[in-house]
Amino acid sequence: MPPAAALLPWRRLVVPLLAVVSVPFVLPLALPFLLRSSSSRQPLSAARPLYAPGTCPYVDEAYACASNGRPDAAYTRWRWAPRRCRLPRFNATDFLATLRGKRLMLVGDSMNRNQFESLLCILREAIPDKTRMFETHGYRISKGRGYFVFKFVDYDCTVEFVRSHFLVREGVRYNRQKNSNPILQIDRIDKSASRWRKVDVLVFNTGHWWTHGKTARGINYYKEGDMLYPQFDSTEAYRRALKTWARWIDKNMDPAKSVVFYRGYSTAHFRGGEWDSGGSCSGETEPTLRGAVIGSYPRKMRVVEEVIGRMRFPVRLLNVTKLTNFRKDGHPSVYGKAAAGKKVSRRKQDCSHWCLPGVPDAWNELIYASLVLEPKPRSWKHH
C-alpha cells in the first residue's frame, strides 16, 4: 500500500457534485472528489487481469467470453488509469481485511450481478484455501435466483447479492377479464429492503430495465398511491423511484455505521439497433483510446446526481458512464450464452453486460479505493 502522502493528489481534486457531468470519470464521495483524465492522454493502461479467464467458478456463462470461444484477450487487460490522481494498487487481501466482520451487499439488476460476480472472483484470488469461501445456502450462481450470500470464513465477512430491478416495488394488477399485468409502484420501496438494513457496505444500481418495454412506454404501468397513470414519462418515474429509495436510505441507514454506494449508468454499445432489434457490437477488439465523447449525457444520470445531491446520507456515487464509454470492446456480444446454455444468436447480441474478467473489475477497484482512502464509519474497528 503506498504511503498516505503519495495519495494526496486524490484528495486535492474537489469539485461541486453537479459540475462533474462533462468529465471522463467521476467518483463523488462524502466530499465529491474528482478523478479526471487529461484529454491529451488516454485514460487506460495495459495490465494483467486480476484473475485469469476461465479460472473463476462464479462467472455466469453469459459473461464467460473466453470459455465461450472469444479468441482475443486484450479486453481482459485494460485498467482504468486516471491521469490527474493516483489510485492505490488493488490488494484483494487488504480489501478482505477491511471487510473483516462485515457484510457487503450489491443490490440491483443484472448489471449489479455482473459486478457481484467480478467481486467474488477478485476476492477469491486472496484465499489460498478455496474451500474457505462458499455460498451459505449451497446455491450455484444462476440467472434465475435473486439472492446469494458468500461467506469468507477467515475474515468472518460476507459478500451478498440481492436482485431488485427497480429498487421500488414491482406488482401486478388484474383487469376485468382477470388477466394480470405488471405495474411498478414508484412510491413504495422494494420488498427486498428488509435485507438491506444493518448492512455495512451497500452498492445499489438501477437503470438497465428502465429502457425496456412497458417501463419505457409507461402505459398503465406506473402507480403512486391508488393512482395508476394511463401514461407517464419514464424519466420522471425514474426520478420519483430514486426519491423513494433516497428517503428510505436517509431514514434507515446510519453513516456512522454504514457506507452506501450508488453505481451509475453503464454505457451500452449497440450498433444498428437495440438489444431486441438487431443491435450488435461483435468484432470490437479494442477500446476507444482517445477522444471518446458521449454525444449527450444520459438524462437518468442527471436525475441520479440531482437526487443524491439532496440526500442527508453521504452516498458515494460511482459515475462509470464515461469510463464504460471507452470500452466498446468489453461486451459479450456473440460470446455469451443464453439461459438454456445455447450460444447467443448474432441477431440478438449482448452489448450491455460485460465479459469477465473485464470492465466491472475496475468498478470494484474503485470501491476498494474509496474504502481505503475515505474516512471509515465511526463504528468500524480499524485494522
Quote the cell numbers at residue 322.
464515461
**3-class DSSP string for 128-150:** CCHHHEEECCCCCCCCCCCEEEE
Active-site position among 60, 109, 190, 350: 350
Active-site position among 110, 118, 164, 352: 110
| Angle at CA of residue 170, ends 229 and 116, nearest 5° | 135
Active-site position among 165, 208, 331, 353: 353
Give the C-alpha separation, 361 to 367, whole Å: 10
Strand pairing report for 316-318 and 259-263: parallel
Give the C-alpha separation, 206 to 251, whole Å: 20
Is 350 a catalytic site residue? yes
The Cβ of residue 130 has, within 10 Å, a number of other Cβ atoms equal to: 9
Furthest C-alpha separation in the chain? 69
Answer whether 161's CB lies under 8 Å from 139's CB.
no
**Closest by CA position to 182, among listed 137, 144, 214:** 214
Give the C-alpha separation, 273 to 268, whole Å: 11
291 by Cβ neighbours in 10 Å (0-12 / 13-18 / 19+) ranks as exposed
Give the C-alpha separation, 262 to 377, whole Å: 17
Matching residue, cell 472528489: 33
- AA identity, residue 72: D
In DSSP terms, which residues pair with 316 in a beta bridge?
Answer: 261
Give catalytic residues, as residue numbers: 110, 350, 353
